[in-house]
Structure 1
Amino acid sequence: MGLLSRASPKVKIKNDVNVPSTHGLVVQMVNGTPVQLVSTTVSALKALQNSDVFSTVHRIASDVASAKFKTDNTYISAILNQPSNIIGRFSFWQALLFQLLLSGNAYATIKGMKLHQWRPTEVSSIKVLGDNEGMQYTITPLDGSKEFTVRENQMLHFRIAPDASYQYLIGRSPLESLAYEMTISDQSKKATLNSVKNQISPIGILTVPASQLNEEDLETARTAFEKMNSGENSGRLMLLTDDSKFSQLDVKADVFKALTENADYSAAQISKAFGIPVDMLGGGKSTESVHSNIDSVKGAYISDLNSYTYPILDEIKLKMECPDLKLDIKSALDVDDSIAINQTNSLMQAGIITQNQAQDLLKRSGALPMNLVPPEGGDTNAN
């Protein structure tokens, strides 16, 4: 028999294995209990203090959350499009996407007709059961509620870029690839801002006859001059004796150049790590690429979002047995219908569809009203 005709052996896990809830956390056993240590990766809180990181995460999370789930299963549709009685659908999925992007993992238990989100720090233990029997999640609520466990079919565990070190069960955040860049960015910003602070502030040189002043007199002269020309007196007429001279220090052009270059570098690296066009960050020149066609940028962005929508869809399809589930990202992002109109127009120009068929497509997509009045003498049948 050939190699291809043999059944591939199944890899079995004989003993239970504990893995962390987030990549970068170290699991140790203390008296038989798994204990998670603090992550040594990029801090999510610190990362969000970077405007480009916040803009990227907020944009992706908001755009994915704005899309609605579609399925013929009305039961599943009701759960996914109204997952909580406490917060709205958009806020629920936006928060979950924030967690997924920042830690690489997001957790939500299935309870009846609702979902409940849990922080990765509240998922105190993940046990991979031996003999491929499944997984067991231990939840330790931060509000002091009683600890409990759920099996894998009761837990939606969303993950991106699964790590082989944890049997592909734990995801990794794009932030991990930015550790080096963010260190450079932080140090560069500190150095640049210190330079700007020292040069933009009203620092100048006051020249007085040295022969008339000792060290104490020099300090007195400086204090008196600062008092007369700062605070409430700032901007008033400056008076000097004929033997004194004041000169203002100019701001060096390379300070602003360094700021601009740092912003360009930061935005480019962050957009690359999260896999989206830099144009979508919306920060002016520093977030503009060579793309000139906004529709092509939108199209590329929608395609790039698959990196985050597919893990969500696949997990829900598996755990909730809903194979026809879809997430209508295109309709959510094409708010002005420009993508639908341009694509339909391209099909018509290529002779693939007729004008009437094009109108019908645009009506079905919502770009045109269903009761659109046909042109005088035109065909009333859009089909």
Structure 2
Amino acid sequence: MMFFGFLKPKVTDQTTPEYQSVLESAGADSLDSLMIDPKSYVSANKALTNSDLYATIYQLSADLATTYMTASQPRTQTLLDHPSATTNRHAFWQAMAAQMLLDGNAYAYIWRNQLTGQPVRFEYLRPSQVSVFLLNDGTGLSYSVSFDEPDVPPIYNVPQSDMLHLRLLGVGNGGQVGRSPLLALQNELNIKATANNLTLSALAKAITSNGTLTVTNGALLNVKEKIQMSKGFMEQVKSSDGPVVLDDLTKYDPLQVNSDVSQLLSSTDWTSKQIAKAYNIPDSYLNGQGDQQSSLTMIEGMYANSLNRYARAFASEINDKLSADVDIDVQPAIDQDRSTYLTNIGAAVKNGAISGKTADWLLRYVGFLPKDAPAYTAPVAQPIQIQQATKGGDNEDDSSSD
């Protein structure tokens, strides 16, 4: 058995890779020979057919790609803004985030300038294209990489400095490889699939008639006579716009949806809370009921905290591999129109925490104000007019009274 390539002697060609990620093989795992039960295993393709899970992965990955990455070095900033030669910035970082959220690992090979050694671009790699090795002396990791391009041969013993490796919850291995959050949702997703199949089966086998026509002493009628009475009843319904006329021997009752089937239909969305819990986001973001006691501001704050946890995985890995002071601002993802940011800046100015000039700089820095907007001008202080108090009983008419 293979455990993320640590025991694998060599990488195979790119057409039939021996290494497979935890999402592509029920036999691959990273926790001390803890194998996944094939019966409860959930693949990535199967997982994304779940609408709640798809919504979770799409929203988190899109928001992580929307966050703004700033680097202290201009060369690194250019690489972050233009990471790939085959796609745009948002698509690349969203793919990396989605792979990390699904597999617990995301890989990108760092192509460098052959003369200067400076990184020039990233190349996204599927987990099936990467094998991870622990060096014999335990001083680092080594990677074997295969590429989709037929002209690019596999690269063996790639140092970890040339591999961008995002990972989540590397428990049991010191953070060397990540662990898929889907492993915590095996039972929930399989129960959801079983519930869906049960619901579809119940609906398929349900009686599709719109009502029942009861005949007194109907047991004396054979099947042919019952069919004739049914056709006669339906003919009367279709040919007359008025009420249906029945005799004392017949009674019509319309069918209603069985309460058990209704409860079964309402129970098919129960996994949304479980998925939200596994990915540490408020379940209201998955169109659920959420916590009715929580305000919108509180829910947004909880989501911002969760998003920032995933963003730290990005920032830590990029800082380690590019030796740059990279910071990630999640504010553009949770406050896209900057209305909340503007409110907070206004409150800070009103309370005297910052000056109007500082507020003007902050709003320009985040792009809320255009660069060619007029510069901030402090209001001119108006002189305070002091009115002299007159003596009690004195007035302007005293001199004329004489």
**With structure 1 as the length reference, what TM-score do the two structures score?**
0.75
Identity %: 28
The equivalent residue for 1:315 is 317
Q: Distance in 2 between matches of 1:200 and 1:348?
A: 68
Q: Does the alignment pair 1:153 with 2:161? A: yes
**CA displacement, residues 70-122 of structure 1 (integer Å, 9 cap, x when unaligned):** 11222222222112222111111111111111111111101132211111112
The equivalent residue for 2:278 is 273
| Distance 1:141-1:362 versus aligned 2 partners, 3 A rule | closer
Higher normalized helix content (fraction of residues): 1
Q: How far did residue 161 of structure 1 move? A: 0.7
The equivalent residue for 1:32 is none
What amino acid does structure 1 have at the position aligned with 2:301?
A: G
Q: How far did residue 194 of structure 1 move? A: 4.0
| Distance 1:192-1:304 versus aligned 2 partners, 3 A rule | same
Q: 1:305 aligns with which of 307, 318, 328?
A: 307
The equivalent residue for 1:79 is 79
The equivalent residue for 2:13 is none
Q: Does the alignment pair 1:344 with 2:345? A: yes
The equivalent residue for 1:353 is 354
Deviates more, 1:296-305 or 1:206-215: 206-215
Q: How far did residue 348 of structure 1 move? A: 3.8
What amino acid does structure 2 have at the position aligned with 1:277?
A: P
Q: 2:185 aligns with which of 168, 178, 185?
A: 178
**CA displacement, residues 244-263 of structure 1 (integer Å, 9 cap, x when unaligned):** 65433101355444434542
Q: Distance in 2 between matches of 1:236 and 1:93?
A: 63
Counterpart of 1:132 in 2: which secondary structure? coil
The equivalent residue for 2:197 is 190
Q: Where do residues 180-259 of structure 1 align in structure 2 (5 Å cutoff)?
A: 180-196=187-203, 201-207=208-214, 210=218, 213-215=221-223, 246-253=252-259, 255-259=261-265
Q: How far did residue 292 of structure 1 move? A: 4.6
The equivalent residue for 1:5 is none
Q: Distance in 1 between matches of 2:180 and 2:204?
A: 35
Q: Does the alignment pair 1:295 with 2:294? A: no
Q: Distance in 2 between matches of 1:226 and 1:107?
A: 68
Contact 1:18–1:128 (CA<8 Å) still a contact in 2?
no
The equivalent residue for 2:367 is 366
Counterpart of 2:273 in 1: which secondary structure? helix
The equivalent residue for 2:336 is 335
Q: Distance in 2 between matches of 1:226 and 1:45?
A: 50
| Distance 1:135-1:221 versus aligned 2 partners, 3 A rule | farther
Counterpart of 2:86 in 1: which secondary structure? coil
- What are the ranges of 5 or more consecutive residues in structure 2 without an aligned counterpart? 1-5, 10-18, 30-34, 113-119, 382-402
Q: Where do residues 35-184 of structure 1 align in structure 2 (5 Å cutoff)?
A: 41-112=41-112, 113-123=120-130, 125-141=131-147, 146-149=153-156, 150-164=158-172, 166-184=173-191
Contact 2:196–2:268 (CA<8 Å) still a contact in 1?
yes
Q: Distance in 2 between matches of 1:211 and 1:277?
A: 58
The equivalent residue for 1:22 is 21
**With structure 2 as the length reference, what TM-score do the two structures score?**
0.72
Deviates more, 1:334-343 or 1:155-164: 334-343
What amino acid does structure 2 have at the position aligned with 1:51?
A: S
Q: Distance in 1 between matches of 2:232 and 2:65?
A: 58
Deviates more, 1:327-336 or 1:309-318: 327-336
**CA displacement, residues 279-322 of structure 1 (integer Å, 9 cap, x when unaligned):** 222x2xx2432355333322321221122111122112111221
Contact 2:282–2:302 (CA<8 Å) still a contact in 1?
yes
Q: How far did residue 228 of structure 1 move? A: 7.3
| Distance 1:316-1:220 versus aligned 2 partners, 3 A rule | farther
The structure that has the greater radius of gyration is: 2
Contact 1:174–1:273 (CA<8 Å) still a contact in 2?
yes
| Distance 1:350-1:290 versus aligned 2 partners, 3 A rule | farther
Q: Distance in 1 between matches of 2:185 and 2:290?
A: 20
| Distance 1:37-1:275 versus aligned 2 partners, 3 A rule | closer
Counterpart of 2:21 in 1: which secondary structure? coil
What amino acid does structure 1 have at the position aligned with 2:54?
A: F
What amino acid does structure 2 have at the position aligned with 1:109?
A: Y
Q: CA RMSD in A?
A: 3.9
| Distance 1:200-1:221 versus aligned 2 partners, 3 A rule | closer
Q: How far did residue 355 of structure 1 move? A: 5.3
Counterpart of 1:62 in 2: which secondary structure? helix
Deviates more, 1:19-28 or 1:37-46: 19-28
